[in-house]
């Protein structure tokens, strides 16, 4: 059984001290947490090393060492390190060189998907296993004016307050924007999850980490530029694609595109939204990922 991270675990993630190392691609900031087999946690849009640690905390609790870099344009990693996702894939490989790591498990999420796919495709000998959660793979429209409003401190502060004090109502609105639920379906799921103690802890940690968003804005804006999909046919490692069946932010078309091109891929559907791994499927998806990793190495 996989131990579920607590609010204290997530706060400890954000309290870690990042470091910056010189690489052939330029200076890259990262933070590490835990011991064991290393996992490279590649954060999504409006992220950074802190959100990488938060998203992969369940892996640390399962005996892995999580290494979470800030992608170019986020926090302490300048955008010049990699404006294109191909360059970001090369930069992640350069970070592995700097850390003297030959190969690693890669855990990509949401807007970190393109860089993770590029790393595995351009440097197939460096990635032993690839896990993608709700990850972008192909270009698509930006929903709900996300590019202009997401990276504002006032937005994160308001959402954090509402999540704590108006949990059910806030989750209902979140599901309406992040999932293809009906109005009644969103309200029903929100009510059920709001009644579970601690279920919103990961989402609260992500919102708290988003404060100070000015240092993340260059990376976020860069994430929304048009891009060419990675050459997925070159990915040689076993790949697990975990995705919310009703995801509106990153539609399931991304899953079908990747699965049709990666030679050794498997899909695990979550019965939920774009944040299902933290909410609707928090008690099942992390356990499936850990079990898949264990069995893939057996």
- pLDDT > 90 fraction of the chain, expressed in percent and rounded: 83
- Tell me what the mean pLDDT of segment 134-140 comes to: 92
Alpha helical stretches, state H, 198-282: 201-210, 217-223, 253-261
How confident is the prediction for the chain on average, in pLDDT?
A: 93
What distance in Å separates the CA atoms of residue 36 and residue 39, rounded to the nearest whole number?
A: 9
Contact 93, 126 (CB under 8 A): yes
- Of 29-38, 146-155, 254-263, where does mean pLDDT reach its minimum? 146-155
Q: Is the pLDDT of residue 150 over 60?
A: no
Q: Is the pLDDT of residue 245 over 80?
A: yes
Domain boundaries, the chain: 7-297
Q: Residue 224 is encoded by which pair of tokens? A: 């929304």
Architecture of domain 7-297: 3-Layer(aba) Sandwich (3.40)
Residue with tokens 């264990």: 294
For the chain, the 3-state helix, strand and coil shares in percent, each to the nearest 5, are 45, 15, 35
38-84 pLDDT tens trace = 999 999 998 999 999 999 999 999 999 999 999 999 999 999 999 99
Band of the pLDDT at 154, cuts 50, 70, 90? low
């Amino acid at each position: 059984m996989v131990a579920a991270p607590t609010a204290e675990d997530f706060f400890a993630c954000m309290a870690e001290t990042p470091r910056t190392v010189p690489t052939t691609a330029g200076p890259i900031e990262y933070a590490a947490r835990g011991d064991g087999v290393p996992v490279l946690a590649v954060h999504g849009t409006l992220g950074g090393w802190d959100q990488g640690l938060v998203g992969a905390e369940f892996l640390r609790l399962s005996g892995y060492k999580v290494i979470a870099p800030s992608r170019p344009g986020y926090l302490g990693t300048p955008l010049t390190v990699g404006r294109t996702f191909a360059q970001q894939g090369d930069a992640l490989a350069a970070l592995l060189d700097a850390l003297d790591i030959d190969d690693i498990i890669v855990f990509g999420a949401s807007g970190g998907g393109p860089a993770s796919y590029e790393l595995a495709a351009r440097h197939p000998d460096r990635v032993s296993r690839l896990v993608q959660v709700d990850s972008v793979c192909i270009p698509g429209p930006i929903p709900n004016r996300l590019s202009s409003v997401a990276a504002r401190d006032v937005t994160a502060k308001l959402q954090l307050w509402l999540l704590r004090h108006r949990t059910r109502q806030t989750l209902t609105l979140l599901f309406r924007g992040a999932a293809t639920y009906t109005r009644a379906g969103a309200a029903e799921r929100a009510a059920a999850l709001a009644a579970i103690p601690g279920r919103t802890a990961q989402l609260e940690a992500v919102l708290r980490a988003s404060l100070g968003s000015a240092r993340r804005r260059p990376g976020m804006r860069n994430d929304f530029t048009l891009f060419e999909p990675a050459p997925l046919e070159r990915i040689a490692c076993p790949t697990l694609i975990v995705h919310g069946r009703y995801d509106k932010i990153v539609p399931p078309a991304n899953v079908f595109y990747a699965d049709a091109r990666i030679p050794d891929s498997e899909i695990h559907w979550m019965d939920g939204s774009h944040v299902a791994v933290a909410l609707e499927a928090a008690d099942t998806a992390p356990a499936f990922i850990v079990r898949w990793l264990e069995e893939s190495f057996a």
